[in-house]
Structures are given as C-alpha cells and as structure tokens.
Amino acid sequence: MNQTLFRMTMAFAASVGLSITGAAQANSNPSTSAGDTEKAAFIDNLISEMNLEEKFGQLTQAPGAWNDTGPAVPETGSDDIRDGKIGSFLSVYGAEVTHEMQRIAVEESRLGIPLLFAHDVIHGFRTIFPVPLAESASWDPEAAEKSSRVAAIEATAHGVHWTYAPMVDVTREPRWGRVVEGAGEDPYLGSVMAAARVRGFQGDDMTATDTILACAKHFAAYGGAEGGRDYNTVDISERTLREVYLPPFKAAAAAGVATFMAAFNDINGVPSHANPFLYREVLRGEWDWDGLVVSDYTGIWELMDHGVAATREDAGVMALEAGVDVDMLSKIYEELPAAVRSGRLDETVVDAAVRRVLELKYDLGLFDDPYRYSDVEREKANTLTPEFRQTAREVAHESMVLLKNDRKTLPLSKDLQSLAIIGPLADDPHSCLGNWAAAGRPEDAITVLEGIREAMPETEIHYAQGCHVSDHDTSGFEQAVEAARAADAVVLVLGEHRDMSAEAKSRSSLNLPGVQRELAEAVLGTGKPIVVVLMNGRPLSIPWLDENIPAILEAWFLGVETGPAVADVLFGDVNPSGKLPITFPRNVGQVPIYYNHRNTGRPADPDDMYTSKYIDAPWTPLYPFGYGLSYTEFSYSGLQLSSEVIGPDDSLEVQVELTNAGERPGTEVVQLYIQDLVGSTARPVRELRRFERVPLEPGESKVLTFTLQPEDLACLDRNLQPTVEPGDFKVYVGGSSVATLSAPFTVQSANNP
C-alpha cells in the first residue's frame, strides 16, 4: 500500500477508534450500517487530502493501449497514473496487464488510489452469448441473468471491474444499428430484462471478486433517433419519454445498478450530456438513485458540435453541473481546475462526483486489495469453459424464433442422405459472434455449417457460399444451384454480416442486402425443400421469403455455440420457443411500426378510405411483436378474472388454461396485455403487463394465474402524474400481441360505494 494512503488510513482508523485491522475489515464489508459510516469517513478523509488535479484525475477515464497480443500497459499513460491524473481506463483487461497498471497507481502515485478498468462486456466476454436483441427473444429473464453472470465471472477474472451494459434503450426504429444491443420495442419486457442483466452482472455481493459494475445506458431516449440515424436528434414529448423510454432505466435503478451512461443524442434541443433534468431531477431526485454517471466516449467534447458549448471548458462545466461524473476519453475534466480556481465551478460539485468514484472503488474492495481482480490462475480457470459454452448453447436455443413452418417442413429428418448448406453466412464465424464481442475470437465460434456437420456425420453435405452478404456478384449462383440439386433438402443461411448491426451501422433499407434474395430465387428454382436461417441484428423486411419459402428460422447472431444450437433446432432435438421482441415490418416505409401504438380518431379500416392506412401496402406488420411458432400447437381457454369490478387500489387475478394440443413437448411464452378503453388521454391499443415461459408435454394442460397490481393499470394523466383512472379495461391473453382471447373489467372510482 502507498505510504501516504497507509498514513491516511491509520489516521482515519484512529479517528473512529478502530485498529488498522478493524479498518481493513470494515472496508471489505461495506453493507452494514457501521460499514457505511466508516466508508463515508474514509472517503471524507481521502478527499480532504486531494488537490484539484487529483480530484479531476479521478473523474477522467483514459483509453488503454494495445499491441499484437492484446491490451498492454500504456507507455504514455504511466506517468499520468503516477501523477494521479487518471481514475479509470477503458478497454484494458488481462490479469497481468491490470496488475501492473494497478501497481503503478497504488505504489507510485502520491495517494495510491486504485484504478477502475472498464470494458464493453455486452453479451459475453470470451464466451460470447446471443446478442441482447436475440436473448430478449427468449423472453427468459433467468437466461439473461445467467448469461450476464457468466460474463461477469469471465471478465472479472481478466481484471475488468466495470461493464458498459446493459443497454436498456427502447427503440421502435429497426433502421437504427444499435437495436441489436437492446431488448426491443416494449418498455415492460425491456424493464424485466434490464433488471435481470443488472442482477447477473452485479450478483448479490459487491465485495465478491466476480462482481462487475453494471451500467444502464444510454440515458435517455437514444433509441428514438430521427430517421434511425445513430447519434441523431430525438424530438419526443415528455409523456413519451416517461411512458416508453424511461421505464427500463427506472427498473435498472431499482435493481441496484451501480452506474448510468449518458446518451449521445439531445432531447428536444438539450444534449443529454448537459441535461440536468435527466440527472438532477429524474435520476437523483425522483428516483432517489445516487450512483455514478459516466459520459459516452467523447460525449462531453461533442457538446461543442451540438452547438451548446463554445469551448472545452464550457462543455466540461456544463456536463459536470448537469450530473455527469466521469469524462470518458475527452480529457476535458482534467482541464477544469482553472474553472474552480476562477470561481466558475463550485468545488462541492467536483467533490460529489469524486465521492461517487471512490465509493465504487471502496465497495469493490479495491482499497483493501487493489489486485483482487488480477489473478492469473483465476483467469486461466474461468475462460471459455465447457460449462460456459453449454450455457451459451442453451440460451441460443431459447433465442431463436420460428417465423414460418408450412407443411411441417421443420424439423428436418435425421435420415436425410444429403443436405445442401448454402449462403454467405453459413460458414462465417465472425458474424456468429455478432458485434461488441469483447474478447471473443472467431476461432471460438462454431458456424452453422460446422454445427450441422457435427450433428449429421453420416449425411453428405454440399456447401456453397453462393454470394457475399452485401455485394452484387452472382458468379457463385451456379455452384449454389448445383449443390441444391445434388441434395435432398437445402438450408439457406442469409441475413446481415455482423458489421451491419451495431453502433454507427444504421441502414436506410431493411431488405436482405446484396443479391441474397436473388440467390434464394435461384435455389428455389431447383424445387428442393428449403429452410431459410436468418442471421441478423435487426428486423428485416422479408415479404418475398415469407411468400415463397416454406420454413424460416430467425437465428440472429447467437455467439460461440451458433452452429450446434441451430442444428439442435433444425433437426428437432430442441423445439423453438422464442418470440419476437420487436415488430417485423413488411417494408421500411411502415417504420416506425410497433404494437403499442395509440389509436387515432380514424383507426385503420379496410372498408373505409378515410382511415389511417396506406394505399400501396398493408398497414399491418409482417410478424407482430410477441410472435413465434413452435413444432407443436398450443391452445388457450377458460380465461377468468377474479372480479369484473375493482377499485383503483385493488389487485386483479387473471386465470387462463394453456394446453399443448400437439405431438411434441414444447414451451409457450404466455403473454398478458391490457387495454384501457377510455382515459383522460389517448391510451395504447395494448400494453404488455405479464408473461411466463410454460413448458408442457403433449396433451398436458396447465392453469396459469397472473396478478395485476394497481400500478399495472396506472397511466400518466394530463398533468403527467401516475394515476389509476376509473373506467373500462380489457385483458388479452395469448401467444402474441394480436391475441384474441379477452375479458372485460371495470375500475370504479374510489368514491363509488
């Protein structure tokens, strides 16, 4: 331990009547009331010893360095670490690397304050899981929690303290590249998945060495970017902000998320990095959350490009006063001591931000043992283990969505003598990983082609790439057609490559890129049974495939176990159970299209010209939110409510019977929606309020009971205050957002006897 920090710790211990051993023990157990008091005193003492440059150093995050083998100790950053000018690093990992950087911080700097190491651990660290949109298609929060827990175990074994996940942005905009990184279009599903991922990352003990700090991002409404263009402006009402975009963030805060990240966008003209309404009023005021807020990359510097700051100092002062504690990579905060000395910036604002940084380091036990995350043996034992891969395969099973299955084309027979595997993504390990693959490696991933070969060793496999994903070269069509003609059936793997779905990957079209549709037409001409497997990170417009291909399986980007998981579903070892977390449009002209829209004064009516629809295309989606087929059939019956009339403070029980009416075991995602028929403001036509994954054997039935609480029926009134308004409601229960089984009930006024 640095001698100055040792002296400060001794002084602190004496001031509260503890031995140095007692102080160290208190540091490692901050969950108790006494521990909280000791933590506050320890941090007070440390802040009192810091000069302005060291304070702003704690608020500065720097980039890591890389060499041919991966992350390395940054040569130019070592002096800054010694001088206390850096509090955290981005994209640095590895037990040896982080140990050495931590050694410089705690042994060679004046105060010996340990560093935080942050990384984008979005859907796995080395064991890469399905991308978040895919995982959300599982409608399984336990799976999301489990995958985040594995990611936390791996990442922390490699020295990482802090992940910039989960992304909880709701979006109704499939053109936006970062739709792949979230949970889709629904606030309720997004809230459930957000809380699950926070629990998985952070566990239930912040002092454990496999705890990784989670970060809910991007606050707020980043997914509402105009035109689907990343980083673009967002112009929405406060009602839409509060009803649609904020609920998953509030759920993450309630789950104890340690940090939030600011968004690149502005909202109604105010950039998020300079928006005190978001951080001071909503986050810290209304929600009573007091964690740390970090900027997104150079978001503070970008306040100048937004046109609200003229200088770097302007930008830094605005961001810090708005409530953004840590500056990621802009290195603007390190320039702000002059603003404090001139009286422009109050030092108490700086101290509050520094306190939040130090509290995280304290809670992780880094003051007690700065090297506790940098254990080479733990790193070796917790990387890409067979158990981790098996978990990734199981989550991938649940993430796939069966979009079409005419004439029971799927599952394919295991008795096939020959099979053609065709398509530009059939043997693409990079795309299996998806984007934001952290430390994942292409050689770790098993492709669809490899997975099928492993699953069907006796079957003759004919492989042809056919074309590339996004160019217009058709020279490979002939080989693809020959492969199809030589086989009993065809698996056609189409979609987007991984670099088409992620940050800065917005698209103006949702069609299959390149000549992939033409490839499908050529293969279809052989007359062989065809199954399309889609790999993509956003909804695609595929009406031609829907009209012409008998079976379509949405596989997204499934991670390292892509091939085995897809093979398990194609050949019937696993019955698909995923449901769409976002609507699939027929064409890009329908966007934005989402299930929980408000009604208009002229709802769409095919028999009335003067209603809300198109003259050149249906207004309905190709596949609605919540949709997904199975190899078996499920039936719903016996919908009953505990009462037809309730008060505004009453709960309501909803019962329904689900039956597996088919011949295979299967799992159905039962979904419950409500509709507020008359309110003081126009209400959505439906709102998801409950769901449950239910496994059933053939012929088995189960009665399910859901309990709706008053908050499930509440809306924001005309003054944006939450209230349960009296009036008529409907409950819908079924397998998607267009379920027809319904029952009415009425909420009486509190004054009604």
| Positions marked active-site | 296
Number of H helices, E strands in the chain: 25, 28
> Are 71 and 119 within 8 A, CB to CB?
no
> Are 382 and 154 within 8 A, CB to CB?
yes
> Are 255 and 195 within 8 A, CB to CB?
yes
> Are 562 and 432 within 8 A, CB to CB?
yes
Tokens of 334: 């390190």
Q: Provide the 3-class DSSP secondary structure of residue 633.
A: coil
> Are 362 and 84 within 8 A, CB to CB?
no
Q: Exposure pattern of 595-620 as b/e (b: 16+ CB <10 Å)? A: bbeeeeeeeeeeeeeeeebeeeeeee
Identity of the amino acid at 531: V
Query: How far is residue 578's CA from residue 627's CA, in Å, rounded to a whole number?
Result: 8
Query: How far is residue 510's CA from residue 696's CA, in Å, rounded to a whole number?
Result: 36
Q: Is the dihedral of CA 717, 722, 725, 730 positive or negative?
A: positive
> Are 39 and 364 within 8 A, CB to CB?
no
The strand ranges marked E within 24-161 are 60-63, 65-67, 70-72, 88-90, 116-119
Alpha helices in 477-631 (DSSP H): 477-485, 516-524, 543-548, 562-570
Query: How far is residue 729's CA from residue 745's CA, in Å, rounded to a whole number?
Result: 5
Alpha helices in 400-541 (DSSP H): 429-433, 448-455, 477-485, 516-524
Name beta bridge partners: 675. 730
Tokens of 538: 């956003």
